Amino acid sequence: MSNIPLIGLKADQFRHPLDLEATSTLKQLPGLDLMVRQLLGQLGEQFFMLENLASSVQVGENQLPHLHQLLLDACKTLDLEPPQLYVRQHPMPNAYTFAMRGKQPFVVMHTSLIDLLTDEEVKAVIAHELGHLKCEHGVYLTLANLIVLAAGQFSPVGTVLAQGLQAQMLEWLRCAEFTCDRAALLATQDPKVVASLLMKLAGGSPSLAPKLNVDAFLAQARAYDDLSSTQLGEMLKQAQTAQLSHPVPVLRAREIDRWASSKDYESLLAINRSVCYDGETQKGGWRNW
């Protein structure tokens, strides 16, 4: 059965509470996001677009069409206009998004990541990156990097300030990743697909990936959750993750496992399932997206 398209989906409908809080704090910085968009938006877009056109393969109807279709499917489900998608030769599994002004956003996937994943898991990665676009994370990430770099150019006081800002922004980034994992779940509508993706990021390789056990990894994620439930465990967990830009994979798997069982997730799908069935009755064809 085709995934339910989430017609009219808004970012705050799936945004993780920690991300909602952190992003709201960033939006209170008056005028800085607009300044970054105006000063670097057009230049940044053109520079990185040129660099991608020169050094990557642009996905489209006539170039890696199966990846192009995965992009279109994820965009339809998340109710988002498709960005450009590029594939880049790189030994480190990774994917990233650039969206400064929102006019020419693009997603880049490394070949080594694609080699690890099934098609549904690739769609989950694409949807995760689409989550950054849906929630407009890109401009705040750029803003944070600029502030940190600028603060580090000054006195020791500036260095301390830069470290404080860096810690704050890393915390925000970790919160944003939880939100984008939710976007991956909404696009695939199968929590085991997202958990499998995270498992492969933690300990996968092209030879090991088909042999890994998702249920065992989810049990591992719950064990991690239990071990960090005490005050000491929470302190150790925070120390472990404080300098990371992403939450550890087991924690991300546990979060997505929880949300997949929540009333919020089920309600979001149920509302759109009703809309799709009504649309099929009245207009036809929506369920086949």
Residues that are catalytic: 129
Q: Is 106:82 a contact under the CB 8 Å cutoff? A: no
Place of tokens 């945004």: 15
Q: Is 19:178 a contact under the CB 8 Å cutoff? A: yes
Amino acid at 234: E
Neighbours of 288 (CB within 10 A): 10
Name 191's Cβ contacts closer than 8 Å, sequence gap at least 6: 185, 256, 257, 260
Q: Give the HSE-up count for residue 106: Cα atoms under 13 Å, Cβ half-sphere.
A: 23
Q: Is 245:174 a contact under the CB 8 Å cutoff? A: yes
> Would you state the structure tokens that stand for residue 120, as one six-digit string?
């549904």
Output the CA angle 179-104-13, nearest 5 degrees. 25
> Would you state the structure tokens that stand for residue 206, as one six-digit string?
């092209």
**Secondary structure (DSSP) of 85-101:** EEEE--SS--EEEE-SS
**What helix, strand, coil percent values describe the chain, rounded to 5?**
70, 5, 25
Neighbours of 88 (CB within 10 A): 17
Amino acid at 112: S
Q: Can you tell me whether residue 200 is helix, strand or coil?
A: helix
